[in-house]
Amino acid sequence: MAQSTEGTGGLAFDKKKRTWPNELNIFIALLIIIAIFETLGQTLPYMNDQSFLFDTRDRFDSIFNEARLRIIILQVSIIGIIALGVTQVIISGGIDLSSGPLVGATAMIAMSFAQTELVNGGLNPKAVFGPWAFDLPVLIPVIVALAFGALIGAINGSLIAFTRIPPFIATLGMFLICRGIAQAWTRGKPVSFPTEGYAGLGSGMMPVYWFLGLAVVFHFILKYTVYGKHTYAIGSNEDAARMSGINVQKHKVMVYVIASMLAAFAAVILSSKNLTAQSGMGIFYELYAIAMAVIGGVSLTGGRGSVIGTVLGAMVFGVIQSGFTYVKLDAYFQLMAMGIIIISAVVLDKVRQERAASRR
């Protein structure tokens, strides 16, 4: 159908004509999921009368069950920080599988520079380095972590941009390398007893503040800066981006560097929160981060998605996880259910896109 554009309206910029934002769909989905768990809680025979998200027993000075809300958001905020980076990678048309093991490796390395000298009056039993590395200012482990993240990201990005190997392969290789680094760093022994300053980075609700703060920053960056616009452009049509004069290779390296630095920062927060670093930290995090982004409407084909979507995706993720526990679904089945939900999210997104395409 050859659709003429002549006479079809003027040139005005019409705010009302903007399309229905995808983020609203995810928000509605979030509300529906909450409603489902709430209903299940009221109807399942083995449940007591406790509500899922509301404060029905007047334990708190609010209408919500604050304890559960806190746990939900605390639970997702560290992986959420990784998801912010993964969002950018996927929008640029790539994928990053190395973020989980990178968390493990970075946690080990950063924690080694954050150890305190005296533990219960004796020398730190988990000391990695000599006395020079004790009680360093908190900035040093953070800088070491970010630098390590930047290095891994630069390798990922350079491999993908210059050798043109698929991002899946490059980051899969890095996945193994990073897990190897995490294990080789101390031959598998955990690194513990951080300084007070380091422990403060991720204590209490700090991970949530970091997550939401970084989300605001990257929402702004993706939406209102040249970096963000080029990220969308490359994911949308790499050839067009190149022809338009965007240095695609340089930009890709930058995207992977930022993503890995975010994962490294998540490692700092995680090891600080747990007061220890172990080589097995961050298992499945890369997949959960991708899942959050995908549930949040970030398209794996690139070019589409947003930080708001990913934050909402993280909330959906947290609510589902918490909801499964709430309805006492066996932990063994939770992974399966999560898998089904991720697949459904992508299928729904595809259906929605195809319907939008047929409408034009």
Partner 1 sequence: MSEDTRETILETRGLTKHYGGVHALNDADFALAKGEHVAIMGDNGAGKSTFVRQITGVEQRTSGTIIFDGKEVHFKGPIDSREAGIETVFQTLALADDLDVPDNLFLGREITKFNWLGPFRLLDYKAMRKATLEGLERTAVKIPNIRNTIQNMSGGQRQCVAIARTATFSSKLTIMDEPTAALGVQETAQVENIIRTLKDNGEPLILVSHNMRQVFDLVDRIIVFRRGRIVANLKKEDTDGQDVVAYITGAKTGAEYAGAA
Question: Site residues (CB under 8 A) for partner 1?
Answer: 2-15, 17-19, 221, 224-227, 229-230, 232-233, 235-237, 239-241, 243-246, 251, 254, 303-304, 356-357, 360
Please report how close the Cβ of residue 26 comes to partner 1 at its closest, in angstroms: 18
Q: How far apart are CB 14 and partner 1 at their closest, in Å?
A: 5
Spatial distance between the Cα atoms of 56 and 49, rounded to a whole number of angstroms: 8
- φ, ψ (nearest 5 deg) of residue 8: -90, 80
Q: Which bin fits 297, alpha (ψ -120 to 50), beta or left (φ > 0)?
A: left
Cα–Cα dist 55/96, whole Å? 39
For partner 1, give the closer residue by CB, 68 or 230. Answer: 230
- Complex with partner 1: residue 259 or 277, whichever CB lies closer: 259
- Can you tell me the distance from the alpha carbon of 225 to that of 3, in angstroms, rounded to the nearest whole number? 34
Pick 19 or 43: Cβ nearer partner 1: 19
DSSP string, 283-303: TTHHHHHHHHHHHTT--TTSS
Contacts of 274 (CB under 8 A, 6+ apart): 202, 281
Alpha carbon 45 to its chain centroid, in Å, reads 36
The set of residues, in sequence order, having a beta carbon less than 8 Å from that of 37 and lying 6+ positions away, is 52, 53, 319, 323, 326, 327
Nearer to partner 1, 207 or 305 (CB): 305
Select 234 or 314, whichever has its Cβ closest to partner 1.
234
93: left (phi over 0), alpha (psi -120 to 50) or beta: left
Closest approach of partner 1 to the CB of residue 272, in Å: 27
For partner 1, the closer of residues 127 and 308 by Cβ is 308
CA-based max dimension of the chain: 83
Q: How far is the CB of 162 from partner 1 (least distance, A)?
A: 17
* Shortest distance in whole angstroms from residue 6 CB to partner 1: 6
Q: How far is the CB of 58 from partner 1 (least distance, A)?
A: 48
CB of 18 to partner 1, least distance (A): 6
Is the Cβ–Cβ distance between 263 and 88 less than 8 Å? no
Cβ proximity to partner 1, 87 vs 112, nearer residue: 87
C-alpha distance from residue 218 to each of 149, 179, 307 (Å)? 17, 27, 7
Tokens encoding 239 = 């050839």
Q: SS3 of 7, please?
A: coil
| Nearest residue to 75 (alpha-carbon basis) of 260, 342, 292, 264 | 292
- In this complex, which beta carbon is closest to partner 1, that of residue 26 or of residue 181? 26
Instruction: Kindly state the smallest distance separating residue 90's Cβ from partner 1, in Å.
Output: 13
Q: Give me the least distance between CB of 348 and partner 1, in Å please.
A: 19
Contact yes or no for 304/297 (Cβ under 8 A): yes
Which one, 15 or 164, has the nearer CB to partner 1? 15
